[in-house]
Amino acid sequence: MLSTRAATLSSRVAATRKAVVVAGQRQAAISAVRRRDNISVRSIQSVAQTDRDTITRLLYSLGSKREVERHLRIFSSSSHPSQPAKFAVIKIGGAVFDDLDELALSLSFLYRVGLYPVVLHGAGPQMNDILESEGVKPEYEDGIRVTDAKTLQIARRVFLEQNLKLVGALEKLGTRARPITSGVFTATPLDPQKYGLVGKITRVDKRPLEASIRAGALPILTSLAESPEGQILNVNADVAAGELAKELEPLKIVFLNDKGGMYHGVTGEKLDVINLDEEYDHLMAQPWVKYGTKLKLREFKELLDVLPRSSSVAVISASNLQRELFTDSGAGTLIRRGWKMMRFGGFVGDAAAPGSGRQLIPKDRLRAILAARDPAIRAGHASLTALLAALDDAPRGSWTIYADEPLDALAVVSHPPGEVAVVQGLYASRAGVLNGVLDNVWGAVKQDHKRLFWTAGTAGSVAPSPSVPGQGPGDDEPIDRSWHFDRAEGSFTRAGKSLFWYGVPEIGELEREVRMLEISGRVERGWLPLAGRKSRDGLLGAASGAGGANAAPSVRSPGMGAPRSFSTLARVPGSTRGYATTCTDRKRVALIGARGFTGQALTSLLDAHPYLDLTHVSSRALEGWPLEGYEKSQITHTNLSPADVERMESQGEVDAWVMALPNGVCKPFVDAVERGSAERGKDGSVVVDLSADYRFEEGWTYGLPELYGRPAIRASKRISNPGCYATSSQLLIAPLLPYLSPPRWPTVFGVSGYSGAGTITQEGGEKGKGERPLTIPKVTPESLAGGVRPYSLTDHIHEREAGWHLSRLVSPSADGNGNGTTGGQGVQVAFVPTVGPFFSGIISTLSFPLSTALPASSIASLYASFYKASPLVRVQKGVPALADVQGHHGWVVGGVQVHSSGERVVVVGGLDNLLKGAATQCLQNLNLALGYDEYAGIPLETEVD
């Protein structure tokens, strides 16, 4: 029942504030352009967009584009001109008025995308303040405010004031709003002797609300009612919202409060989702469910019992309203009626069914659902008759259909005795998607099957299989491809189609299972052989399965991101709402050393990350200045000391530290993290160090995933980020190590942009004017006079770094000092760095002596095979140029040429020193160590041919 998400949700919503204000002022263009020197980091320009288009795009920062558009489409289609108030009823608690600006922005956001909720508010805290100031003690009976004439007089005044405040705040943002303080609720006195002037609503007139919406204005209501005789009566705002919802039958009934949800009375954890049909009796029997909690649950059940099952209640804070409405994972507490999960093992009328204990599904009902929802059947590409015949012909007990009672979502799972289970069909209606029923079904599947395979095409739907043709989601609600990746522990992609699995961690076992599935025809042939190398611990160390036609398997943390599953009483890994805990929790990152170019690049990446939030940035030079280039929230630079870091770590304020400091400066801060972790008594935060301080340190993991495996990084709390030159050098040399010819060693000549030389601080404007300090490069293009400047001609730190770690690939027992390698020598690399008159990018030229003569084509194929599991590596025919690497997040290799003697090969590689050479690689390591997909927040499309 409890969500285990520890990180604060919805920091992205704060990033929309400026956009809403701009839209409210009817400005025609929105431009968010951030440039670092001559490199554009991100540019979003909208010159002729409507407000709706602009705000819709900003919604994409909350969830996937398809996810947001699906919810927008469903909400938009819920209302009709004849019944325009069926989107949502939003009840605002009086305490929410303490942050009126946040409230107004959240409501204005909905208005900007064309959604018109009916808004009703209370004013309890404000009334209590006035009553107490006038010497009147508030009285309550059974949780209901006793209202005498004086109290009612104050209530009318306070309600009107708060109503006009909210209307004024909305109008200030350009959002039309209409105050409606009477004429909607008709009531009779509830019990005059006991409660005084408190009413029981007997009628709701929705005409003023619908007139307001048709006029293009949000209706803003108070919870005051009138008797048939004209007497004003006070009504509890929650009760009024419920009666309003019964009349309007909206998709969503939202209760905004200052707590952001409902909480467990013992553990204090947020209740993430409640399915009343299954859990109500159990909850009401709990000793901690009492007073206000019990009253609210009872009211919610009475309300939802009379509303369509497509309606649900959400208890949420104003700042998280968009996340609750437009993402599957939500942010507050979701209350819905729900359905009990069904497991069908046969058809009604099946002669083998009596006494079997199986639930039976009417074949005609299944036929109608598949005909309506399966796009392949609707398009004539698959046969409905063949699908049903395949189920009929299969041995009894070899398949199960998982579904909710009304079949809003269902999964067809094949599980012959002694064989691994395969999902052969996923189908969901619009209501099934909106209310998370698809995830309920998935949770039930995971509960029964500890190992599972399934396939999906590029559109995300389950791909047709030979045994049961024509699967896929329906009712024009396609399943986002990311849905599959989020629920898989591994994947393998060929020709735009992916094979997903969970519960099979070993590469050998995986190959055996896939081979058996292909032989039996339960999945189509063509997946074997599985590419990728076996790491030392036996787990796959390959990259994302979305990498291309010949991509290798991808292993990821289990259960990342399945939202809102079926039962909050059961626990199955893989869901943020209900069945399980997952790793789509938002996590907090602190950046120490934010002033430099690398810090700026990492800031931009974190700004687009779906789960990581930058919460602290430290820079001595920029202390007190706002952070630029980060739009999720407003952050001010601080100057954190080791003592500050120790305190923050001991109190668990962040989940990961990134040290972007010069060499030799990091240790006091790392020591502070260690002390804070010890004081905390729990697993400490992750530390990623971008300097060279810990690249040779025992107990630290060297974070170059493409070469040294991902499992070690996933299990590590201390990660040293490789150097930029060292990254390119190692990626160049590693595939050729089997052809190493000691004592002849490889040589790398590297040319880097001047950003790699670091930065210095310059006072902004005239000294003493208090202008923001500027970050400028140590080496300027002017100082290079258009030429290049070799430096550190021997013993560069990256030379030692590359040789030290490459020695591990020659022999896992090597320690970097030459022990354990062939001939007792470790790999030695000769390296000469040079700085050029361009901002960023590294071009590295490798000269490698070969022990065996090889043609250039074989060496090119060697690189392609070695890195085909790595989406951030691109192998090309020509020599990489600056344009191939600047602003790109990966590494490119090409230009292979073999000397006429056949004994030496020259290969060229390149990367952006600020991205794959620093910030992007740091984000890969953060993602792995924190349990996310390795490439979360990293654009891949520009890196793959």
Residues belonging to the active site: 724
Are residues 459 and 591 in contact, defined by beta-carbon separation less than 8 angstroms? no
Give the Å distances, CA to CA, from 559 to 3, 53, 122, 420, 889: 14, 33, 40, 19, 27
Find out whether 241 and 120 touch, Cβ atoms under 8 Å. Answer: yes
Q: What is the dihedral of CA 289, 291, 294, 296, to 10 degrees?
A: -130
**Half-sphere exposure at residue 700, Cβ-oriented, CA atoms within 13 angstroms:** 20
Neighbour-count burial of 762, counting CB atoms closer than 10 A to its CB (0-12 exposed, 13-18 middle, 19+ buried)? exposed
Q: How many CB atoms lie within 10 A of CB 476?
A: 11
**Pair of tokens at residue 355:** 């006494």
Residues 95 and 89: beta-carbon distance below 8 Å: no
- Closest to 753 in 3D by CA, of 910, 880, 913: 913
Q: Which sign, positive or negative, has the C-alpha torsion 760, 670, 703, 814?
A: positive
The conformational region for residue 931 under phi > 0 = left, psi -120 to 50 = alpha, else beta, is left
Residues 6 or more apart in contact with residue 332 via CB below 8 angstroms: 260, 261, 270, 314, 315, 316, 317, 320, 324
Sequence-separated (6 or more) residues with CB below 8 Å from residue 462: 423, 424, 425, 426, 454, 455, 456, 471, 472, 473, 479
What would the 3-class secondary structure string for 651-700 be? CCCCCEEEECCCCCCCHHHHHHHHHHHHHHCCCCCEEEECCCCCCCCCCC
Answer whether the bond into residue 880 is a cis peptide, omega within 30°.
Answer: no
Do the beta carbons of residue 489 and residue 453 sit within 8 Å?
Answer: no
Q: How many CB atoms lie within 10 A of CB 381?
A: 12
The CA-atom distances, in angstroms, between 373 and each of 113, 400, 457, 475, 554 are 28, 19, 17, 5, 30
**Which residue has 């303040």 as its token pair?**
129
Q: In this structure, is the dihedral angle defined by the CA atoms of residues 380, 382, 383 and 388, taken in order, positive or negative?
A: negative
DSSP annotation of 822 reads G
Q: Measured between alpha carbons, how far is 521 from 512 in angstroms, rounded to an integer?
A: 14
Q: What single string gives the DSSP state of each residue in 523-561?
A: S-S--PSPPSPBPTTSBB----TTS-TTPPPEE--TT--
User: Which residue from 703, 793, 815, 693 is spatially nearest to 748, judged by alpha carbons?
Assistant: 793
Which two structure tokens, joined as six digits, stand for 748? 């790398």
H or E element at residue 411: strand 409-414
On the CB side of 121, CA atoms within 13 Å amount to 32
Report in angstroms the alpha-carbon separations of 663 from 314, 388, 695, 857.
50, 66, 11, 41
